[in-house]
Amino acid sequence: MPSATALRIEIERALERRFPAALTPVPRTVCETAATGIPEVDALLGGGLPVGAISEVTGPKSSGRTGLANSFIAQQTQEDRVCAWIDAGDAFDPESAAAIGVSLRQLLWVRCQSARGPAKGKPWTWLDQALRATDLLLQAGGFAAVVLDLGDTTPDDASRIPLATWFRFRQAADRTRCCLVVLGLEAYTQSSAAVVLECASLQPRTAGGTVLNGFSFEIRRRRQRFTPAAIGARKPPASTWSATSAWETGERG
């Protein structure tokens, strides 16, 4: 009778085209991190998002996921690194990104929809464009960070993305030392993500009960399959962070 190890290898070989390493846990590895620019998030992760890996940021609309991604890209572009934003839903706002601190001269914006929006009944066309663009940029190299924004993509459509696609993205990100950040309503990358963060809005902050001056967000770490290079860093299970009106004036909040 074959051993358990032999059976596992046989099953994984049969499934490798659809589910790479289906029965083998992904080991935790020591990984270089890149700061997000939000101290609370960096403390939660022990330094920031992993370099050369996939980070997934999930949550409903207005949950802070885009603000977190913008803050991360701002850190990268201010250090004269080239980044890319793959915009599957045509929702990226360059003015807001510049106000947070993103250097637009260092950012490649890939719009996957026309100004009139997607054709009705064909959301997969635009999603396919976003995936092809992401694959091309990751394979080409030279980008410190790539954001794949699937924020407006329904879970039904995003769940159609094959696991093999995410596995290929993970390998390319590792080879080119690129931070791939995936934004979505839910987690889609499955075992390919090194870290999964879940965002939620807490409450707006007002002055005098009538003037809106900012928002507070909560972020939870749902998965972290790497050990930060700064071993021993404290990693609380959840944290809160705020976005203030100072971001809208171009000041770092």
How far apart (Å, rounded) are the C-alpha atoms in residues 215 and 126? Answer: 31
Helix H or strand E encompassing 9: helix 4-15
29-66 pLDDT, tens per residue? Answer: 557 899 999 988 898 888 999 999 999 999 988 888 99
Question: How much is the pLDDT for 219?
Answer: 86
* 91, pLDDT greater than 80: yes
Predicted local distance difference test score (pLDDT) of residue 169: 96
Whether 4 is covered by a domain: the verdict is: no
- Tally the domains of the chain: 1
198: domain CATH number is 3.40.50.300
- Indicate if the pLDDT at residue 183 is higher than 50: yes
**181 DSSP assignment:** E
Q: Is the residue at 18 inside a domain?
A: no
Degrees to nearest 5, angle at CA 133 with 34 and 108? 55
Asked if residue 10 is part of any domain, the answer here is: no
pLDDT at residue number 63: 85
Q: What is the pLDDT of residue 1?
A: 46
DSSP string, 214-249: EEEEEEEEEEE-EEESSTT----SEEEEEEEGGGGG
11 inside domain: no
What is the per-residue pLDDT for 224? 79
Give the Cα separation of 21 and 90 in Å (integer): 35
Distance CA(25)–CA(15), nearest Å, equals 15
pLDDT for 182 beyond 90: yes
Q: Is the pLDDT of residue 117 over 90?
A: no
pLDDT beyond 70 at 165: yes
* Residue 188 exposed, middle or buried by CB count within 10 Å (0-12, 13-18, 19+): buried
Q: What are 198's strand-pairing partners?
A: 58, 220
Confidence of residue 82 (pLDDT cuts 50, 70, 90): very high
Range of the domain at 144: 26-249
- Residue 16 domain-assigned? no
Strands in 107-111's sheet, in edge-to-edge order, are 107-111, 83-87, 145-149, 179-184, 54-58, 193-207, 211-224, 238-244
User: In a 10 Å sphere around its CB, with 0-12 CB exposed, 13-18 middle and 19+ buried, how is residue 196 labelled?
Assistant: buried
Structure tokens that stand for 6 in this block: 């032999």
| Cα 86 from chain centre | 11
219-242 per-position pLDDT tens digit: 888 877 766 665 444 445 566 655
